[in-house]
């Protein structure tokens, strides 16, 4: 397969690219490098720097590289940011996503897998959550992801797309080459490991009086390797299918509590990892776990690496070997946002001058980033 991975320089995307290359596929990465990392793109994959808003550039890339299928991993994904700037999330996660779909339609690329989120379910009535359960997001991030899923469904109906959306809550772990390096960092496991590394003083536990065995919230996690494997299985499933839009949840079906994560991290790292209990956050459900029964049955997927100890051990090993992350200087969120606004004003002529690069050329980011 000739695969275009949009957002392929990000945490999830880069690991998926690794998996695709190892399986013998030809991969083109399309990313603006605003949140992704050029150094995360494995040798053998071609990196094209550009943004999803740039439909003409997307079309050109798809034609030049004779793309057959697309994995879409690019998104804005900070819940708190989506609450304060919902327009940003609709522009990047919905409007830019439509530009991607239109570029696919124009180039007759009809196979797409979307790295979505179980945040589309909001606060579920039951757990584990099944695909047929009510979708009622409680933040613009989840709402924007659900809106793009709706667009995929209608493109399947109108233009013969074969589309699959994979919904999951939390991804963790690392490969030997690629790991999690976000700025800012909002995910529990990398925050816990930052404390273990001495970069933060303590972990905050938001409430310990939930109706769970140890009083702390339970959340679903899957190893990034297992997510990458699901992406490949889903892309393969679009090969012979009739036009359709399918949804699959990915999860452990059990989940781990905040205290379980911290205690397991202490054992894996051999570090103290101080924790402080603070008051609950508004809107935190006691338990969020997705059922992956349908993905196991239809796609043949099973989480092979998603024990808590394995995810922590792999993430910790990557961190120890990448003390500075990918080694690039991180910009503060405000500075990064200002840079993105400036880049959005770049003229079409300037964007035309962007070049495809292998792995040894610095390029200017344009448009939306990667997960």
* pLDDT tens, position by position, 89-142: 999 999 999 999 999 999 999 999 999 999 999 989 899 999 999 999 999 999
Predicted local distance difference test score (pLDDT) of residue 284:
80
Domains of the chain and any CATH numbers: 2-178+219-251+290-308+324-357 (3.40.50.720)
pLDDT the model gives residue 371: 66
pLDDT computed for residue 370 by the predictor: 56
| pLDDT mean over 298-312 | 96
Residues 6+ apart with CB under 8 A from 26: 1, 2, 3, 65
- How many Å apart are CA 48 and CA 217, to the nearest integer? 40
Reference 251, options 129, 135, 370; nearest CA is: 129
Distance between CA atoms of residues 247 and 218, nearest Å? 23
How do residues 23-75 score in pLDDT, each as one tens digit? 999 999 999 999 999 999 999 999 999 999 999 999 999 999 999 999 999 99
**What is d(CA 11, CA 27) in angstroms, rounded to the nearest whole number?**
16
Report how far Cα 347 is from the mean position of its chain's Cα atoms: 29
Residue numbers annotated as active site: 141
48 or 254, higher pLDDT? 48
Helix, strand, or coil here: 357? strand
Q: So what's the pLDDT on residue 355?
A: 39
Locate 325 and state its tokens.
Answer: 């992350």
| β-pair partners for 244 | 162
- What pLDDT was estimated at residue 336? 45
Average pLDDT over residues 11-24: 98
Residue 204 has pLDDT above 50, yes or no: yes
Q: What is the DSSP string of 137-197?
A: -SSHHHHHHHHHHHHHHHHHHHH--EEEEEE-SEEE---SS-----SS---HHHHHHHHHT
Q: Given this model, what pLDDT does residue 349 score?
A: 35
């Amino acid at each position: 397969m000739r695969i275009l991975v949009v957002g392929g320089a990000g945490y999830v995307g880069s690991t998926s690219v690794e998996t695709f290359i190892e399986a013998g596929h030809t991969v083109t990465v399309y990313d603006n490098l605003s949140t992704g990392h050029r150094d995360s793109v494995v040798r053998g994959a071609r990196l094209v720097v550009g943004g999803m808003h740039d439909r003409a550039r997307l079309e050109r890339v798809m034609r030049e590289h004779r793309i057959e299928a697309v994995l879409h991993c690019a998104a804005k994904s900070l819940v708190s940011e989506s609450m304060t700037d919902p327009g940003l999330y609709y522009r990047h996660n919905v409007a830019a996503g439509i530009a991607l779909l239109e570029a696919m339609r124009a180039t007759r690329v009809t196979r797409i897998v979307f790295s979505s989120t179980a945040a589309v379910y909001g606060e579920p009535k039951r757990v584990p959550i099944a695909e047929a359960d009510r979708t009622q997001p409680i933040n613009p991030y989840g709402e924007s992801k659900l809106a793009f899923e709706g667009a995929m469904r209608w493109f399947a109906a109108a233009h013969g797309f074969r589309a699959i959306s994979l919904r999951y809550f939390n991804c963790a772990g690392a490969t030997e080459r690629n790991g999690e390096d976000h700025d800012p960092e909002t995910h529990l496991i990398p925050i816990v490991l930052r404390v273990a590394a001495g970069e933060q003083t303590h972990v905050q536990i938001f409430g310990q009086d939930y109706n769970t065995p140890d009083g702390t919230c339970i959340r679903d996690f899957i190893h990034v390797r297992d997510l990458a494997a699901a992406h490949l299985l889903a892309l393969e499933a679009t090969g012979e299918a009739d036009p359709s839009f399918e949804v699959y949840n990915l999860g452990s079906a059990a989940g781990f509590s905040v205290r379980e994560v911290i205690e397991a991290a202490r054992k894996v790292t051999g570090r103290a990892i101080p924790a402080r209990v603070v008051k609950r956050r508004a809107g935190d459900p006691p338990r969020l776990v997705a059922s992956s029964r349908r993905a196991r049955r239809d796609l043949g997927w099973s989480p092979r690496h998603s024990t808590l100890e394995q995810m922590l051990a792999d993430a910790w090993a990557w961190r120890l070997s990448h003390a500075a992350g990918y080694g690039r200087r991180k910009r503060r969120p405000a500075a990064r946002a200002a840079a993105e606004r400036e880049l959005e004003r770049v003229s079409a002529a300037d964007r035309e001058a962007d070049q495809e690069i292998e792995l040894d050329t610095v390029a200017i980011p344009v448009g939306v980033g990667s997960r």
